[in-house]
Structures are given as C-alpha cells and as structure tokens.
Amino acid sequence: MTTARGLTSCSASATAAVLLTSLLSAPAFADDPLASWNESPTKRAVVSFVERVTKQGGPDFVPVADRVAAFDNDGTLWSEQPTYVQAAFLIDRVKALAAEHPDWKDKQPFKSVIENGLEGTWTLSTHQVVEIVAATHTGMDVDAFQRIVEDWLTTAEHPRFKKPYTELVYQPMLELLAYLRANGFKTYIVSGGGVEFMRPWAERVYGVPPEQVVGSSVKVRYEEREGKPVLIRLPEVAFIDDRAGKPDGIYRAAGRRPIAAFGNSDGDYELLRWTTAGPGPRLGLIVHHTDADREWAYDRNSHSGRLAKALDEAPARGWLVVDMKNDWKTVFRFQR
Amino acid sequence: MTTARGLTSCSASATAAVLLTSLLSAPAFADDPLASWNESPTKRAVVSFVERVTKQGGPDFVPVADRVAAFDNDGTLWSEQPTYVQAAFLIDRVKALAAEHPDWKDKQPFKSVIENGLEGTWTLSTHQVVEIVAATHTGMDVDAFQRIVEDWLTTAEHPRFKKPYTELVYQPMLELLAYLRANGFKTYIVSGGGVEFMRPWAERVYGVPPEQVVGSSVKVRYEEREGKPVLIRLPEVAFIDDRAGKPDGIYRAAGRRPIAAFGNSDGDYELLRWTTAGPGPRLGLIVHHTDADREWAYDRNSHSGRLAKALDEAPARGWLVVDMKNDWKTVFRFQR
C-alpha cells in the first residue's frame, strides 16, 4: 500500500468514524432535550426514570422492545379549551353541511349548533352528540374523511390564540416525546378522540406515525363502488377509547403494556393504573392545568378534561403531577 | 499529533468505516435473499416489484412510510392442514380442561371433541365453535392467556410431520418477509386467527412484532382483582378479521392501505382487492397449495383455506399465483 493510498483511506475512515459516532451514540441534543421544562423535581424524576430504564446492566434496565409510552392527546399534548378540537371540527362540519340539509335549521340537535356554535353544544346529550357525529363524520370512504380533516386544519383557527390548532400543542410535551424516542421508546397516542381525526397530522406535528395512534372509531364497511373496493365509514361506534377503553385500546394496538403513561384527566385514570401496576420501573404523569394566564387553570369543574380522582390518588400511586405554571418555561409550540 | 496517535486513530477509523458500511448498505444477503424459491416468473415478478418501488427517482418509487405489506397467516405463512393450528390448540384446551368440567363428557359440543378430537370438529356449527372458544380462550387475564399459548406451543406437535407447529412455517415465505423488510417494508400479519394466539410467537418465528399482528379478537374488560388492574378476556367477539374484515383490520391497525398483500384463500379476497386497487405499483400474491408430496394439494374443496373465487380472478386482476410444487425449492423451515 502506498502512503498516499494509506492516507486517503485513513481520511475516508475518519469521516466514517464521525458519521458512525453520530449514528451509534445517544442522539445528541445541542443542549437540554427538555429545554422548555423548568429545573424542578418533576423534570428530574422524568429524566431519572429514562436514565434508569436505559442503563444497560442496571437493575431497572428495560429492553427497547418494551419501552412503550402512551400519551393522551386532548389536554396532554394539545389544548382542550375552550372545547375539544374535534368538537370545534364538528361544529364547523355542521355549519358547512347545513346548506345540503336545509331541514337542519329547524331540527335539533343541529339547530342549536348552527345558531349558537360552541354555546349550543354544552347542553347536548351523549345521544345527540353521536347523532351529529353520524351526520358529519360518516358515509364517506376513509380516504375522503382524511382529506376533510386535513383541509379543515389548514383553515381553522383557535378562538383565543388565533393560530391553527396544530400550533396549540405543548412545546414541553413535544420535547418529551422526542426525548423518549431518542431513548428507544415507541411513543403512542391513546386518545378518546377519533383515531381518523388524529392520524392525518399526528406524524407531522408529534412525530407519531398513524400506526401508533390509538383512538375511538366508527365501524367501516367494505364495499364495491363503481367496481372499486372502498371502506365506507358507518354511523355506528366500533370502539370508545376512553377510561377503561384506554388500557384495552393500547393493548389491542401494541400487544404490550406500556411502561409509561401521560394523561391529564380522569379519562386517563385506568390507563395510568394499568400502566403503573406492571412489574419493573413505571412512570405515570398527569399534566395539571394551573396556568390561567398562559393557558387555562382547571380540574374538577371543567367541561373538558375533568380531573379529580386521578389527581387525588396521584401521591399514593407515585404519579408525577406537572404544575403547568411552575414546571413549564414555555407552553405552546408557537411561542418557541 | 504524534505519529503513533495518528495511526491509532486511523486504525480505529478503519474499523468504524467497515461497521458503517454494513450499517448503511442494503442488508447483505450472503447470496440470494430468496434462495428457497426456484427461478421462475413468479420469483422474477416479486423481485421486479421490489426493485421498482425502491428505485429512488424511478417512476414507481414508493417512500418507506408507505411500504406496507400484509400477509395472511394460515396457509400463507404456515400450514393449515389437516386443520388450522388454532383448532388443534382448541382441541387440546378442551381435553386439558375436561377434568375441571366433568359435565363436558356428556355435553355437546365438548363431548364430540373429547371423544373424537379433530374428527369431532368437522360437524360443529359456527355457534358451537364460538361456544368452545368462549369456554377455552376467555375468562383469564390477557397475560395468562399469552402464557397458555406459549406453553402449548412448546409441547404440541404436528400430527403428520411430528415437529412443533412453529417449524411448519414456509421457508420461502420467511425469506420473502425478510427480503421485504430489508427493502424498507413494514410487514404485517392480517389473519382470521386470534390476534393473541399469534402475538406471543410471531416476532420470534416471523420477525413480526406484536403491534404488526392483526387478527380476530374477543372483547376484554378492565377490572380490579385484589386491588390490581387487569384486562379480562370476555366470551364476546370484538372483531372478525376475515374476508371483508381484513381490509378493515389492516387499515385500523396501520392507518394505511398496504401496497402488497399475500394470501392463499378466498378469506383473503377482499384484502387482495383493496390492496391492489390503490394507486401506483401494487402486488397481490396467492400461495396455491399444489404439492401433495411435500405438503398438501388443495383449493376448492378444502375444510381449511378454501380457494376458488380469488384463484379464478387472479389472472384478470394481475395477482401472482405461487405454484408451490414448482415455485418452491424448499417448503418448510425445518427442511432448511
């Protein structure tokens, strides 16, 4: 081998070594991976958990395949005030479809939604909500519904912050999702919301691909239309991914019990219970909305995201409670 | 920098370069990735499809995220003769539980299964099969059922080949699964069988992790037993992942339409139709059991895996039909 060749191959190898280091080492965060979290016991407890389960040879080490983390969506990853985003979508859908349904202007429950918008939804019964969902979310094939959601998100605006809803996601939680993934976790969304309302944008916004989004769903029917097979959304509930449905939903999707769960309301209670009751190291975390200035302050008496039982039991069960006002340096993505 | 240090770092870099090459290059198959397939038009068509969808800048290029491949299990990945493996499990479960249920020896449909084994199952109605599934597959928590399946597989033996059932998987299909994954595909199982009957071993045997196994399921109920939250399997069907249920099942799990589907019976017809009706390059493939010597020869008149309509329509729809006898060099994994 000539010296020249030796040098060339050494230089190429050096480049390769740099590349390799960046491929094999723990993903390098320029700085703090949880930069939007204040230095608090909550942040330290999260980091300590991740360090313990990833420490090869340590007593709490968890293999990558079992590093499953489940996140509620509404109120945990994005704002659910003044109402759930999907409720805002539903109201807009009723208004958009009203022209095709002239009878709605005199017919409940549509009449009150058309006339009073959000205010008109507070008094709806569950049965009436299901009726509106059936009229606005079903009948089309699954691809068409996805486009409707995508189109709506490009134009809809949050009433208080005048931003697209996908900017109303919590910056500290985006960092937490990324931090967990960088440490070998598979991050799932486990939401009471419609799975097909979340999947079109969850990867772009949260980095969570469609197959890791679990939610409520309607039944679909396979049929042929003009010789082409399609899946038509039916006005029938297939699965409610809320409360006791959440452990069921994530187990059905992942085939494993998560080792970490993140929620903000009593709808996440069973998910937190089931997740943290498993053997080995476990993490349960509740986002407590305590910041009326930057976001909202609510728990026991809220229309959306009522939190009482899970908050009361958190200390005894070892669940972390995020005090949004004091634990978060930044709240929303658009404030980054 | 001293010469010695320079040499050391160059040598380390050279090692890194070798590692890097093996990490970044297309996974190296010592030889032919589909070595158990004879050189035939079927094999060439499969390879051509994979080359087209992975050719960056080519007209048929498909991004990695959309490379979803769906495989039926019974008769496509492992043998379904003389009966479905889960039917053999069910028969053994009835016999194992008979001691706890002395009434079964005089009570149908259990009596005929206890007395006649497999022969006793041919005349069962769907209602009776569901009754036996309810009695043998439910009532326990999901973790306990997983252990029952795992334990059974370590002792059960195929009646003709006297091997564990997990050795009755098709070597050419194992190679196809690995070949697709090596080319950026996410491989899913989409089976009429019970999802929790497959998940405990699908990763070990097929390289398909639990979250990529889609199947039929029973409902579960979250409850607390002795203060611990558990998911109890209920004697109620939640989802039948067969026929029109298959496109529904894979869409529900993956949130995407596959670009390739692999089946062997009319139970896979709708999955093949829906998969191959999408835009862009598509692959549909049917395993036709034509080898009575090495495996079985059957299609239109079989107890398991009846194949008629899908076979008849295959040419017009452009689906490949594997002639097991002539297309496969090796059939089973244990013959490797």
Chain A residues whose beta carbon lies within 8 Å of the beta carbon of residue B250: none
pLDDT at A6 over 80: no
CB-CB: which of A20, A199, A229 is closest to B16?
A20
pLDDT at A67: 98
**How far apart are alpha carbons B209 and A68 in whole angstroms?**
13
Instruction: Mark yes or no for CB contact B222/A270 under 8 Å.
Output: yes
pLDDT at B89: 97
pLDDT at A20 over 50: no
CB-CB: which of A211, A213, A220 is closest to B248?
A220
CB-CB: which of B222, B251, B274 is closest to A248?
B222
DSSP secondary structure string for all residues of B162-189: -S-GGG-BBHHHHHHHHHHHHTTPEEEE
How sure is the predictor about B303, in pLDDT bands with cuts at 50, 70 and 90? Answer: confident
How sure is the predictor about B32, in pLDDT bands with cuts at 50, 70 and 90? Answer: very high
Q: Which residue in chain A is spatially nearest to B11 when comparing CA positions?
A: A10
How sure is the predictor about B293, in pLDDT bands with cuts at 50, 70 and 90? Answer: very high
Partner A contacted by B39 (CB < 8 A) = no
The 3-state DSSP class for residue B64 equals helix
Looking at residue B26, the DSSP 8-state letter turns out to be S
Q: Tens digit of pLDDT for each residue in A234-273? A: 999 999 999 999 999 999 999 999 999 999 999 999 999 9
- Which of B229, B38, B7 has the alpha carbon at shortest distance from A284? B229
> Chain-wide mean pLDDT for chain A?
92
Q: Count of CB contacts below 8 A, A vs B?
A: 107
Q: Tens digit of pLDDT for each residue in A189-222? A: 999 999 999 999 999 999 999 999 999 999 999 9
The complex's ipTM works out to 0.89
Partner B contacted by A194 (CB < 8 A) = no
pLDDT at A334: 94
Which tokens hold the place of B74?
């019974």
The residue of A3, A188, A231 whose CB has the most chain B CBs within 10 angstroms, and thus the best one to mutate to test that interface, is A231
Chain A residues whose beta carbon lies within 8 Å of the beta carbon of residue B231: 247-248, 251, 274
Partner A contacted by B279 (CB < 8 A) = no
pLDDT at A303: 87
Instruction: Mark yes or no for CB contact B229/A273 under 8 Å.
Output: yes
pLDDT at A31: 85
Instruction: Mark yes or no for CB contact B273/A229 under 8 Å.
Output: yes
**How far apart are alpha carbons A316 and B173 in whole angstroms?**
51
pLDDT at B336: 85
**How far apart are alpha carbons B77 and B168 in whole angstroms?**
9
Instruction: Mark yes or no for CB contact A252/B217 under 8 Å.
Output: yes
pLDDT at B30: 57
Pairwise pLDDT comparison (A277 vs A9), residue with the higher score: A277
pLDDT at B23: 46
For strands B68-71 and B260-263, give the pairing: parallel
**Residues, chain A:** 336
**How far apart are alpha carbons B289 and B265 in whole angstroms?**
10
pLDDT at A21: 45
Chain A residues whose beta carbon lies within 8 Å of the beta carbon of residue B6: 10
In contact, B220 and B231? CB cutoff 8 Å: yes
Q: Tens digit of pLDDT for each residue in B168-217? A: 999 999 999 999 999 999 999 999 999 999 999 999 999 999 999 999 99
The neighbour count for residue A311, using CB atoms within 10 Å, is: 18
Quote the minimal CA–CA distance from A12 to chain B in Å. 8
Partner A contacted by B225 (CB < 8 A) = no
Given the structure tokens 């090596």, which residue do they identify?
B182
Whether the link from the prior residue into B109 is cis, omega within 30° of 0, is: yes
SS (H, E, C) chain A: CCHHHHHHHHHHHHHHHHHHHHHHCCCCCCCCCCCCECCCHHHHHHHHHHHHHHCCCCCCCCCHHHCEEEECCECCCECCCCCCHHHHHHHHHHHHHHHHCHHHHHCCCHHHHHHHHHHHHCCCCHHHHHHHHHHHHCCCEHHHHHHHHHHHHHHCCCCCCCCCHHHCEEHHHHHHHHHHHHCCCEEEEEEEEEHHHHHHHHHHHHCCCHHHEEEEEEEEEEEEECCEEEEEEEEEEEECCCCCHHHHHHHHHHCCCCCEEEECCHHHHHHHHHHHCCCCCCEEEEEEEECCCCCCEECCCCCCCCCCHHHHHHHHHCCEEEEHHHHECCCEHHHC
- Which of B141, B148, B145 has the alpha carbon at shortest distance from B221? B141
Quote the minimal CA–CA distance from A324 to chain B in Å. 29
Q: Tens digit of pLDDT for each residue in B84-112? A: 999 999 999 999 999 999 999 999 999 99
Looking at residue B74, the DSSP 8-state letter turns out to be B
Q: Tens digit of pLDDT for each residue in B58-89? A: 999 999 999 999 999 999 999 999 999 999 99
Instruction: Mark yes or no for CB contact B253/A19 under 8 Å.
Output: no
pLDDT at A46 over 90: yes
The neighbour count for residue A294, using CB atoms within 10 Å, is: 14
pLDDT at A115 over 90: yes
pLDDT at A30: 58
The neighbour count for residue B102, using CB atoms within 10 Å, is: 9
Instruction: Mark yes or no for CB contact B213/A244 under 8 Å.
Output: no
Partner B contacted by A221 (CB < 8 A) = yes
pLDDT at B10: 41
End-to-end CA distance of chain B: 54
pLDDT at B26 over 90: no
Instruction: Mark yes or no for CB contact A270/B9 under 8 Å.
Output: no
CB-CB: which of A17, A213, A220 is closest to B13?
A17
CB-CB: which of A9, A228, A255 is closest to B210?
A255
Partner A contacted by B43 (CB < 8 A) = no
Partner B contacted by A39 (CB < 8 A) = no
Partner A contacted by B217 (CB < 8 A) = yes
Q: Tens digit of pLDDT for each residue in A69-84? A: 999 999 999 999 999 9
Per cent of chain B over pLDDT 70 is: 91
The neighbour count for residue B115, using CB atoms within 10 Å, is: 10
pTM of this structure:
0.90
Q: Tens digit of pLDDT for each residue in A119-164? A: 999 989 999 999 999 999 999 999 999 999 999 999 999 999 999 9
The residue of B143, B187, B212, B252 whose CB has the most chain A CBs within 10 angstroms, and thus the best one to mutate to test that interface, is B252
End-to-end CA distance of chain A: 54
Q: Tens digit of pLDDT for each residue in B223-264? A: 999 999 999 999 999 999 999 999 999 999 999 999 999 999
Whether the link from the prior residue into B200 is cis, omega within 30° of 0, is: no
> Chain-wide mean pLDDT for chain B?
92
Partner A contacted by B9 (CB < 8 A) = yes
pLDDT at A22: 45
- Which of B251, B69, B278, B68 has the alpha carbon at shortest distance from A233? B251
